[in-house]
Structure 1
Amino acid sequence: MNRTIGRASALVEDYLLAWILAAVLAGVAFPALAGITRYSTGILAVMVGSVSLTLSPAEFRRIDASALARPLAGHLLMPVLAFGVATALGFRPAVVTGFVVLGAVTPELVTPVMTELADGDTALASTVLVVTGVGSLAFIPAALATFAAGSLSVPTGVVVEQLALAVVAPMAVAIALRARFPERVGEHDAVYPGVSAAMVVLILAGVAAANAHLVRSNTGLLATVTVGAVALNALGYGVGYALGAGTERPTRVATTLSVGMRDFAVAAALVLAAGLPAVASLPAVAFGVVEMLSSAALARVFSR
């Protein structure tokens, strides 16, 4: 049974880009899949909690404060860059808000894995993920209050509630379980990323379905949003690489990936769970495809 689950998990994880593309296409083809979004909070909690089970508290203790400050500084800049990109492209308030959420969320949950593949400092990437996850309770509402004003009303209280329920609480419980039962939890390390990846695929299918009519009737908007996603992703990598200047190579790799990679699935689920317009999740969908391609290519370049 465990072997079967492990194989299924690896199948999802190893071909995640293909699964994401299939999920987006399925969502656009079958709008009824939008019903998945009703369970976005639970799906997000499983996604965050499962991958957080791989984070060992022992890894965090050896991180130097100056090394940690660099990716965190880049993280603070990301919603500013997201707002700048969205504004420059002339998007409506809902889409601008989607970009701001995308910029403000934690690094992608698989950033430590990509950092490991790129021969970077995995412990640093994991620490950044935890610190930004806890900080998101204040940071994301602050970013929305600053950059997502205009004609769109953002329910800040609902955003905080969803972050607490679906991001911070599952992450805290998972890390506590890892610390309390390291051997028992560690037995299934190969499965957790696959479970998280399956939740990513599930939520993106629902988000794509919620936007199906818009995508079909306005392909130009999707194309422009994709341009914005490419720009934000590239700017994030550039800022991360610049902030890592003068450090050892593993630190620079971790900083680059931790800033440039944004958790698109968290952004998409959070937008819908907070009751924002479905179109606000479109940047996350586009960014997901862009990021999966770019991070794999960048990890390959770094590993050389």
Structure 2
Amino acid sequence: MKRIFKAIEKYFFIIILLAVAVSLVYPNSFKWVLSNYNGINILNLLLGIVLFTMGTTLKVDDFVNVFKNPKEISVGLSAQYIVMPVLAFALAKLFSLDAGLTVGLILVGTVPGGTASDVITFLAKGDVALSVSLTAVSTVISPILTPLITLFLIGNQIHFNPVDMFISIIEIVIIPIILGLLLNYKFPEFCEKLKDYLPAISSIVICLIVAGVIGANKQSILTSSSIIMLVIILQYFLAMFLGFGFGYLAGMDKKQIITVAIELAFQNSGLSTGLAKTHFPSLSQATVPGALYSVWQNFAGSILAYVFRRYF
């Protein structure tokens, strides 16, 4: 059984591509992902599961590391919440994206780093402790910064309630992380055993989210895929390049530079998709950038991890 879960984790990028293919051929297969069951939003529930699994891998020491490496953390967080939002906004303007795609792209830029960054950092032989700290801290402060930055960038053009978004992030992100953190604190040995299975579970859940969003927006994706995919790829590689630049200018060592670059390029795209669906329901295409970014970052990240490990 453990070997199956490890295989799912190892070949995640292949599985997510298969999920995308199935959702395009049979778009109604994952329709339930975007539905409600007894008043429960299935998409937000799935996101909560991913963040709960993240919480079970965290310890108080991960947050203490913030004070041990203030420069590295400051550089990483500054890049996360300044560079990524500005980059997303600039690309949306440069390519004249419509309102829905603009909102979706900006949400990809304003959400915290994704948990996959920790795995890719490990595979790339980067600084895993720094990656975990950056992911954890950027996630914890996201209820405040994500709504505020989103409001600053699009508030004058598209109306939404930042307070409601704050509450959503608390419910989707913070509460599951705290529950996972408490479980790890109370039952550390049990959570240690879970580590062999949780990455695969998170991978499957992310595949379901991506497949659900892509299936529901099949026509929109097929008619605008060339433009939005180009923007997504540019956003990813520019983020990686800028992460290298910021790390180098800050005087970090090679492992830390690789880590900051990966952390900057890997976003919690599932969260951006959930926020788009919840807070911009009239803009159906707002969920598309997050779904496409999730597919691309995991596919490209797996390849780049090999390149970093082999040649850096």
Q: Same fold (TM over 0.5)?
A: yes
How far is the alpha carbon of 1:88 from its aligned partner? 0.5
Selected match of 2:262 from 236, 246, 257: 257
> Which residue of 1 is the match for residue 204 of structure 2?
198
User: What is the letter of the counterpart of residue 144 of structure 1?
Assistant: T
Q: Partners of 1:131 and 1:179 in 2: how far apart?
A: 18
Matched, 1:9 2:5: yes
In structure 2, what is the equivalent of residue 268 of structure 1? 273
How far apart in 2 are the matches of 1:148 and 1:273? 16
Quick one: distance in 2 between partners of 1:193 and 1:12? Answer: 9
Cα distance in structure 1, aligned partners of 2:300 and 2:221? 23
| Corresponding residue to 1:67 among 68, 72, 81 | 72
Give per-residue Cα distances to partners, 1:97-125, cap 9 Å, x unaligned. 10110011111212111111111111111
Contact 1:177 1:185 in 2 (8 A): yes
Shift of 1:291: 1.1
Shift, 1:26, TM fit? 2.2
Q: In 1, Cα distance between the equivalents of 2:208 and 2:284?
A: 16
Aligned residue-pair number: 297
Task: Return structure 1 stretches of 4+ with deviation > 6 angstroms.
Answer: none
- Letter of the 1:15 counterpart: Y
CA distance in 1, matches of 2:90, 2:152: 13
Q: Is 1:109 paired with 2:115?
A: yes
Q: 1:135 to 1:248 in 2, by over 3 A?
A: same
Q: Deviations over 1:218-243 (max 9, x none)?
A: 1xx11100111011111111111111
2:37 paired with 1:37 = no
Question: Structure 1 stretch 21-30 or stretch 92-101: which is displaced more?
Answer: 21-30
In the superposition, the TM-score normalised over structure 2's length comes to 0.90
Q: Any conservation in 1 of the 2:63–2:136 contact (CA below 8 Å)?
A: no
Query: What is the distance in 1 between the residues matched to 2:161 and 2:298?
Result: 30
1: CA distance between counterparts of 2:182 and 2:56?
9
For 1:46, the equivalent position in structure 2 comes to 49
**2: distance between equivalents of 1:154 and 1:113?**
34
Distance change in 2, residues 1:11/1:275 (3 Å):
farther
Change (3 A) 1:145 1:59: closer
Aligned to 1:127: 133
Identical aligned residues as a percent: 21
The amino acid that maps onto 1:37 is L
Return closer, same or farther for 1:75/1:303 CA change in 2, 3 Å cut-off. same
**2:91 maps to 1:85:** yes
Letter of the 1:34 counterpart: K
Is there any run of 5+ residues in structure 1 with no aligned partner, and where? none
Q: CA deviation at 1:30?
A: 2.6
On the 8 A contact 2:221/2:288 being kept in 1, the answer is no
Distance 1:238 1:107 in 2: 16
1:37–1:206 Cα contact (<8 Å) kept: yes
CA shift, 1:160, in A, is 1.8
Match of 2:20 among 14, 24, 27: 24
Name the CA distance, whole Å, in 1 between partners of 2:259 and 2:182: 24
Measure, in 2, the Cα distance between the counterparts of 1:12 and 1:269.
Answer: 24
Deviation at residue 69 of structure 1 after TM alignment: 0.9
1:241 is the counterpart of 2:244: yes
Kept in 1, the 8 Å contact 2:210–2:295? The answer is no
Distance 1:31 1:149 in 2: 33
Q: TM-score, normalised by structure 1?
A: 0.92
The residue correspondences of 1:212-251 to structure 2 (distance < 5 A) are 212-216=218-222, 218=223, 221-245=224-248, 246-251=251-256
Mapping of 1:131-170 within 5 angstroms? Answer: 131-170=137-176
| Mapped partners of 1:9, 1:165: distance in 2 | 28
Per the alignment, do residues 8 and 270 of structure 1 end up closer, same or farther by CA in structure 2, a change over 3 Å counting?
Answer: farther
Alignment partners' CA distance in 2, 1:194 and 1:269: 21
Using the alignment, how far apart are the partners of 2:7 and 2:284 within structure 1? Answer: 30
Q: Contact 2:116–2:266 at 8 Å: present in 1 too?
A: no
SS of the residue corresponding to residue 212 of structure 2 reads helix
Letter in 2 for 1:98: G
* Worse-matched range after superposition: 140-149 or 173-182: 173-182
Q: CA offsets, 1:67-100, max 9 Å, x none?
A: 1111111102211110101111100111111011
